[in-house]
Each structure stands twice: as C-alpha cells, then as structure tokens.
Amino acid sequence: MNATLRVAGLALVAAAAMSAASARADDAPDRKSFRVCSDPANLPFSNQAGEEFENKIAELLAGKIGLPLEYYYFPQRMNFVRNTLRFKLPDEDYRCDVIMGVPVGFEQVSATSAYFRSTYALVYAKGRKLDGVTSAADLLALGEKLKGVRIGVYDRSPGTAWLAHHGIVDSGVPYRMLNARPDFYPGEIIEKDLVAGDIDAAIVWGPVAGYAARRVTDQELVVVPLKSEPGVKFDFAVAMGVRFGEPGWKRTIETLIAENQAQILQILKEYRVPLVDENGNPIP
C-alpha cells in the first residue's frame, strides 16, 4: 500500500475514457462531500489537524472532484473498517466513503488500483556502527560485527522475518506491533530509541522511516530501502478502499488516482516516502 513518477502496476482505468463526474453518477445518491474514514492520530498517515500525507492527498482529490472534504475519525485499531466505512445507523447514511490507505487486495473493502508502492527500510544514525551500509547485503556482510549491532524491529513484521531468515535473531530488539496508547506513533522507535542510542538501527515500513528521519534534525539519519528477497517480502502496493457494491464510486476514485498520479507522488516525496516499482527498485 509507476513509470518514473508513479508506481508500476497501477492500472490506468482512465483508459475507460470517463470523467470523475460521469463515474460518480453511477452510484446513488450523488456525493455531497468527499468523506474520508480516518484515524485522528496515525502519523505519518493522518491526524485530526490535517497535516499528514493521506490528509494532503484527500485534499487534492476532493478539490479535483469539486466536493468539500469531510472526515469521520476513529482510531485505527481493531474493527476500523466496520466502525467507519461500514458504519451505518438505521435511517442514516454511512459516515464516510473512502479509506485513503489499504493494501492492494485487502479483503474487507473494495480496493482500488494502487496509488503508490513502498518498501520497508533500514534506518541508522550516521557516524556510528553502520556507515557505508547501503543495502541488506551490506548489513549481512558485516559478519561477526553484527553480533554487536542492535536492530529494532516490530514483532510479526517483515523485519522480524528477515532477521529469522538470515539466522541473526539475536541482533533484533523486539517492539510490540499493537500499542494501546491512542497517540502511539511507530516512528518513536527511530525518533527516540535510535536517536538515544538504545538501538543501532531500525527496520520499519518505508513511510514511517522517511517521515521519522525527516523530523530528526540534530542527527543525520540514513534511510536504506530494502528489496524483497526469496522468503521475505518487503515492498507492498497501497490502494484506497471503498464499500463493496459501489462500482461507480470506485471508478471515480481510480480515475482521480490516474489523473492526479504525479501530484500524489509529489506529496509522498515531500514526506520522504521511499517509492519503489513493482520489482522493488527505488523510484527517484
């Protein structure tokens, strides 16, 4: 969850030669606003102040379609889709109509075509133990030196799987994937623990890695996008999600994605999201 400026593999449904306005007419009632299901505190994706990259992309698309932007906020923990996109009281309308970021093929929603692809990344502080590391292969090439390197990874993540795959679990420092704190920010592993020297590196989802590194100003952090390898998948395509049974609205969103792909990717680059093509190769 592109040719040069867009993620490869994005199906350009614009080839259907329809405008967003005509696509919208397929669903009743007509949309009166661009209603987004969102987490109020999910950095770097969204927040209630509208400061994060999913907020900026939502603003862009709402403006292009000529609808006011509205949010229905709910913490993105368990049952997020049921409590947002599918939430409907008797005699009332649904509270929101689109989730800005879901994995391609996510079964709980009708997922659109992808609007970007990113990958997990290794982050370390320059001037410490890992200078010169520019790939996973470089890290593994440290050999015995790896025994003295502490790598923070979230449990059940590709980072954990990668350490196990290469028999270096002892180098891992595990962090819980789920956190009960409503203000929990996964970039804390970088902004707090890595900066403080509690760990020497972290392997996290690319959008989190790039965003957190951008926010650290008193140290130079290096972000190394990781490429998938046999047995460990690091890169994933990201789509938007709508309700099942609303094909016209889905086509509208896909048309908006296709027609505004360059601007969407520019927003992602401003937040330093590592972008890759379908082969996992970095996109400049």
What are the sequence ranges of the domains in the chain? Answer: 13-116+235-270, 119-225
Helix (H, G, I), strand (E, B) or coil at 232: strand
Give per-residue pLDDT as tens, 188-200.
Answer: 999 999 999 999 9
pLDDT of residue 28: 46
**Tally of CB atoms within 10 A around 217:** 7
d(CA 247, CA 138): 46
Strands 46-47 and 41-42, by their bridges, are antiparallel
d(CA 115, CA 201): 29
Residues 104 and 97: beta-carbon distance below 8 Å:
no
- Beta-strand (E) ranges in 155-227? 172-175, 201-205, 221-225
**Over 237-279, what HEC string results?**
EEEEEECCCCHHHHHHHHHHHHHCHHHHHHHHHHCCCCEECCC
CA nearest to 52, candidates 67, 41, 37: 41
Phi, psi (degrees; rounded to nearest 5) at 80: -60, -45
Q: What is the DSSP string of 109-154?
A: SEE---SEEEEEEEEEETTSS-TT--SHHHHHTTGGGGGG--EEEE
CA nearest to 158, candidates 103, 207, 240, 229: 229
Range with the poorest average pLDDT among 76-80, 143-147, 164-168, 261-265: 76-80
Sign of the alpha-carbon dihedral angle for 119, 271, 64, 107 = positive
CA nearest to 196, candidates 223, 219, 222: 219
Residues 9 and 114: beta-carbon distance below 8 Å:
yes
Domains 13-116+235-270 and 119-225 share a fold: yes
Residues 136 and 225: beta-carbon distance below 8 Å:
no
Residue type, 30: D
CATH of 119-225, one of 3.40.109.10, 3.40.190.10, 3.40.50.720, 3.30.1180.20: 3.40.190.10
Give per-residue pLDDT as tens, 71-80.
Answer: 999 998 779 9
Confidence of residue 29 (pLDDT cuts 50, 70, 90): low
pLDDT of residue 30: 81
Q: Both tokens of residue 28?
A: 């009743």
Q: What is the mean pLDDT of residues 108-113?
A: 97
pTM for this one? 0.87
Specify the DSSP element, H or E, that contains 20. helix 20-24
Confidence of residue 12 (pLDDT cuts 50, 70, 90): very low
Confidence of residue 182 (pLDDT cuts 50, 70, 90): confident
d(CA 144, CA 141): 9
Q: Which fold has domain 13-116+235-270?
A: D-Maltodextrin-Binding Protein; domain 2 (3.40.190)
